[in-house]
Each structure stands twice: as structure tokens, then as C-alpha cells.
Amino acid sequence: MRVLFPKVQPKGYTIWLVMIMAALSLSLFAGAAKWAAQSTVINERNNTYVKAVAAAEAASEVSIAYMTRDFLKQSFDPTHLENYSTKVPTNEWATHYEFRDSDGNLNRTQVSTTKSMMMTNLDSQFTGLYGLAYGCLVRGKAKSLDSRYDIKAAVQQDFQLATIPVFQFAIFYAMDLEINPGANMNITGKVHGNANIYTRPGAALAYLDDVGATGRIYTNRAPDDPTPPGNGTITFSKQHTDGVSSLMLPIATNNNPAAVQGILDVPPFGESPLSTTGSERYYNKCDLIVTTTATNVIVKAGDWDGFTTLTPDLNPGTTNAAFSFIATNTTFYDAREGKNTLLTEVDVTKLNSWLTNAATGKGENDLAKIKMGHNINSLYVNDLRNAGSKLPAVRIVNGRYLPPSGLTVATPLPLYVKGHFNAPDVTVGLTNTASTKPASLLADSITILSDNWSDASGAGALSTRNPVNTTVNAAFLAGIVQTTNAAGTKHYSGGVENFPRFLENWSGVSFTYNGSMVVMFPSRYATNFWVQTGTYYNAPTRKWAFDLNFLDYTKLPPATPQVRKLVRSKWSVVSAD
């Protein structure tokens, strides 16, 4: 017998299943919605924070810009930091932010700095250099005014406002730097070019320290250099870097090479020695100013003593000049320039005597005054005579022994150095400069003449001009005749290897040099192109080295130029509270 049960309908089960699935869906949707909402909040808060960080950085950059501007203009005042802390962004976007310093003051950044400059090593890409620097900190804090969230951010920047002695470099060029020696050469100090560096030597060239160029470092010759490329080896022992920051002298707002040459010019009438340009002029920085005119020689104390005119130490008529250490009646033929020179000649031995043994009744009162608490160790020399077809120039002779605190000689004219200079012990060798004095020579161009040079043979055959070994220990700052294409003819500058000029047959003869070579501008007076050896000169055996004394601030040459630079150290996001 079959028992029949009533059929159960699944309606209730289905409803419950649908309700469970709906609940699960709602739960998942709510979770997704909550996640989406939370993600939106997080993204919004994050975007607001990132923008606040950018606004805080902008606030710090405004203060830094004003500090740097005043520092380059030499008007930075660390005792009045409100000049910088009150500078905040004022662009349209800035109206959407509130700027405060760490104490809560509105429309301010936090600015702090050392009260005086300190000698210190420099940070960032200038590691290994030293300078006089203010240690600075700027912290900007910004809060968004358009967000529903109380979000703020702070950025702190640590940096240095530094003056960097330019003679810390073995080679420093404000223009394109070319170095292509035909004999083996080692560069023993740092190298910096404010433009490009071209290096394609004919022999082994080794850079033993850092090399940096604001432009590019090319291992080929410059485009307008007609010299065939050499096949010598190039060795960079340390870092060599393109695109480094430029290092420039603070000459007004126009710091191109032609403007920088103004540091050797006589100041224009009415220019203050304390102005940005005036404070860099050697006319204002030197202890003594020697000026040759058509009728006499005038010697003045520098700006430090109000440009006081000094009394001659010789009776009028006893020489072409009334000062024993100046001669104005010598001349010779410069075969490179193709001209006779019109010379103002400085005898360093006689200068030493003049500084210590003034003739009775002639100069001793003036000398006693200018020497009181002030070492005389720098000369500015100019010649205002009508040179006609001649080349106006300055020559230094008998410079083996310098005054006790060293000697700097600056002139806007070409400069010639005859014989050993700052070399009290020339037998010691290349690297021993312990007995030398701080010294520098600055001019339109610098030419080395040996002790064997004869003025009478200047116009003679090269074979008649035979030098002897010569040593010079001094920083050089001068101009060059740049590599160029003139009327379809290419000319090589001569490169660093021919930066010091020569007029003698130096083949097999040594020129020993310890110093720093700085090229800041194109020459204005000695402007004939460099011509290869065998014409007006033959190249010497170059025994060159960077003078390690210049790594000690106390041993820098008198009136050393200082390039000014913002040196960034550390950027960090810090707590806004």
C-alpha cells in the first residue's frame, strides 16, 4: 500500500534565501562604500598634505631668495632677520594657504642664522672646499584654507651663505676651459669651469682631484680649435661632474666675463668703494696705488687710508720716477704681440727697502703712518701715458724675496714677470713651498721672462733668446685670447698649458710653478692669437703643481677674490607642530 504525503511548496525557503543574499549584498556594498569613503578621505587628506608641503617649501624659498639676493649684494644683515622672515608667497595660489612661523605668528617663516661668518667646510657638491659662511636655517609652515581638514605641513632647509676663495682651485675658468698639453701633465688640485671643459691632450693627462663644469665635460677639442685631436690618455682620479652650479664674483647684476674684468679697472668717478662692484675692485683693496703719468709717478695709500698721497723718497730729476722702487724708462719688443712695450717696472727688492728704510725727510713720516697696524702687501699699478703704437704694460723684477706678509700685484694692463718670483729657495724642488710667502699676480695677461732675458734681444731671432730654469710661486688671475673663428680662420687659445705666456726658447728648460690659475675674462690689451711653438717661443718643461698652502685660509694671497654662493645642505619635512 503506497502512502501519499502532501507536496511542500518552497516559497518560504526561497524568501529566506533571497533575504540572506540581500543582506550579504548590502553588507558587502556597505563595506565597499565605507572603504571607498575612507579611501576618498585618505586621498583627499593626502593630496591636501602634499600641496601643503609644496606651499611650505615655497614659503621657505621666498625667504631664501631674499637672503641670497642680499648676500650676493653684500648687504645681508644677520641681526635683522625680520627682513626675511616676513617674506611669504603672495601669488594667487598663496591666498588659499595660511603661513605661520614656529611661534604661530601669521605671514612669517622661521629664519635663523649664525651672527657672523665662520670658516668651515662647505656642503653638497663643494665638499672639499672651505669658505667663510653663515650657517642658515629657514622653516616654512603652511595650512590649507580650502580643506575641511585641519592639515598643515612644514619644510625646513639648512644651507650656507658662503664666500669661497677662488685660489682654492688649481684651475678655475669663468669661460670655456681647454687643456690639451703635448707633454705628460698632472693636475694636482680641483678644476672648475663656469662653462664647458674641452680636454683632448696629445700625451697623458691626469686629473688628480675633482673636476666640475657648469656646462659639459667634453673629451674632444673645442669646435673652433683647428689643432688636430691628440691621442693621449685622460685619467680622472676622482669625480668629474657636468652641470655643477656656477661660481661667480658678485659684480653688480651682470656677472659675464667682460664685466668681471672690472675688478682690475680704476673705479669710475663717484662709485663708492663699499658698493657691490667697488668692494671687489683691486684699486680699492690694495695697500698702495702706483700711477704713472706723462710727467711723474704718483703713489697713494689705498682706500684703507683715504687714498693719501705719499711723499717721494728720491729727489726730482734723479730718475724717471721719484720713487726708488719704480722705473719708467725701460722697454722691449713682445714678439707675440708684435709691439714694443711701454713699461712701468716694479723692483721688489727696492720695494722691500723702501718699506723698511725710508730716506730721511722724504718718506719716513708717511711710511710710519701707513705701516702703523697695517702690513703693506699689495700694489695696484697703472700707466696712464699715451702709449701710441706701443703696448702699455707692467713688469716685476727682482721678486725672489717678497715683503714679510707676501705680495699681490694687480694691474689692468699686461704683466711681465722677470726671473724667480717668491722663490727664496729654488733648489728645494717643486712641492716644497714652506719658505714662500702668500702671493698673487692679476693682469690682462701674464708673461714669464727668465733671469736670462735681455730686453735688447726681444726683437731678435728666437735662437738668441735662451732662458734659464725659472720658478714662480704665486696665484695667477688673468685674461686669455679665446678660441674663435675669425673671418673664417680658426684659432686655438693655447689652453691652460699656455695660459702663462712665454717669449723665449724654453726647449729643455724648466718653468717650475706652484699656484692657482684663474681665467675670468678675455684680454683687452694683449690680444694677438696664440701661435704654436717654434715661432716666438718654444714651450718649457712644465713642472706645475697646485700650491697646497692655499688650502689654509691664513696662507691665501693678499686680497684674494671670493666667489659668493648659496650652498644647500639639507631639505626635510618636519613636524608642523
DSSP letters for 417-433? EES-BS-TTTTS-SS--
Grid coordinates in use for 522? Answer: 678675455
73 vs 572, more confident: 572
Q: Where are the alpha helices (DSSP H) in 176-271?
A: 257-260
Mean pLDDT of 329-351: 96
Segment 402-432, tens digit of pLDDT? 998 999 999 999 999 999 999 998 765 555 5
DSSP state of 505: B
Segment 439-463, tens digit of pLDDT? 999 999 999 999 999 999 999 999 9
β-partners of residue 177 are 197
Mean pLDDT of 549-576: 90
CA gap 378, 514 in Å, rounded: 19
Residue among 386, 375, 499 nearest 443 (CA): 499
β-strand pairing of 234-236 with 205-207:
parallel
pLDDT of the residue at 256: 74
Count of residues in the chain: 577
Neighbours of 311 (CB within 10 A): 16
Q: In this structure, is the dihedral angle defined by the CA atoms of residues 451, 457, 461 and 464, taken in order, positive or negative?
A: negative
Please determine, for residue 564, whether its predicted confidence score (pLDDT) is greater than 60: yes
Residue 54, SS3 per DSSP: helix
Q: Are the C-beta atoms of residues 319 and 354 closer than 8 Å to each other?
A: no
CA gap 39, 36 in Å, rounded: 5
Residue 506, SS3 per DSSP: coil
Mean pLDDT of 531-549: 93
Q: What percent of the chain has pLDDT over 70?
A: 87
Q: How far is CA 91 from CA 55, 57, 88, 329, in A?
A: 11, 14, 9, 66
Q: What percent of the chain has pLDDT over 90?
A: 64
Classify residue 337 as left (phi > 0), alpha (psi -120 to 50) or beta: alpha
Segment 228-276, tens digit of pLDDT? 888 999 999 999 999 988 887 766 555 677 778 889 999 999 888 888 7
CA gap 436, 423 in Å, rounded: 6
**Which pTM value belongs to this model?**
0.86
Please determine, for residue 533, whether its predicted confidence score (pLDDT) is greater than 50: yes
CA gap 318, 394 in Å, rounded: 21
